[in-house]
Chain A
Amino acid sequence: ETGVTQSPTHLIKTRGQQVTLRCSSQSGHNTVSWYQQALGQGPQFIFQYYREEENGRGNFPPRFSGLQFPNYSSELNVNAWELDDSALYLCASSYVPPYNSPLHFGNGTRLTVT
């Protein structure tokens, strides 16, 4: 069974740049979620994708956008990174329904914005 894989593992960007983070979901899973984890904090929900459509969004501005592909892999796109965006970006997958299935996380992309 292949777990959740994310790329790249580390990224350094300057303010204002655009970047794409990628995620391959665990085999058999049909839902992908993205989370932002600042240092010393719990992960914060960005959004979730189910059947290639956004199915829930947290309190993040529109410059955070995403995609889910037919093979259930996903991308997180951010336009114009800001300093406060420096964090660990986590992707998680699950199979729904039911909606209380545990999420399985990748090891994240560590983003540093300078």
Chain B
Amino acid sequence: EDQVTQSPEALRLQEGESSSLNCSYTVSGLRGLFWYRQDPGKGPEFLFTLYSAGEEKEKERLKATLTKKESFLHITAPKPEDSATYLCAVTLTGANSKLTFGKGITLSVRP
């Protein structure tokens, strides 16, 4: 069965304290791995897509990396406005764009 597991479930950081969020996956036929940010009461907001092992993408304080078994979302010098739930999802080879999500990681950044 295709699985996406995120860890830790929750993370509390002090402003400026860098850290990483983990997403491990066990799937057959990975097409792409996606990171989304979700604020309370809102829908997920697209951050990155990674397609192959070794790929990296950056946006402001966020950097996503991909290996054959997992992805990391590195947050450098986080600010309170980075507080949100970060969701990882995968699409598999096939004729639709179904996303299989992990449960998400709730990040809180204290000033």
Contacts and interface: CB of A to CB of B under 8 A. Distances in A.
Interface of A: 4, 31, 33, 35, 40-45, 48, 50, 55-56, 58, 90, 92, 94, 96, 99-108, 110
Interface residues of B, number: 27
Contacts of B46: 102-105
Interface of B: 4, 31-32, 34, 36, 41-46, 49, 51, 87, 89, 91, 94-104
Nearest to B104: A42
Contacts of B94: 56, 99
A43 B99 contact: yes
B98 A105 contact: no
A33 B89 contact: no
Contacts of B95: 55-56, 99
B103 A42 contact: yes
A48 B91 CA distance: 13
B97 A99 contact: yes
B97 A40 contact: no
Nearest to A6: B43
Given A33-B98, A103-B34, 14 more contacts: A31-B97, A42-B89, A42-B102, A56-B94, A56-B98, A58-B98, A92-B43, A99-B94, A103-B46, A105-B44, A107-B42, A107-B43, A108-B42, A108-B43
Contacts of B45: 105
A100 B97 contact: yes
A56 B98 CA distance: 8
Given A100-B31, A102-B34, A102-B46, A48 B102 contact: no
A102 B95 CA distance: 15
A50 B95 CA distance: 11
B80 to A, nearest CB: 22
Contact of B97 (A43, A58, A94): A94
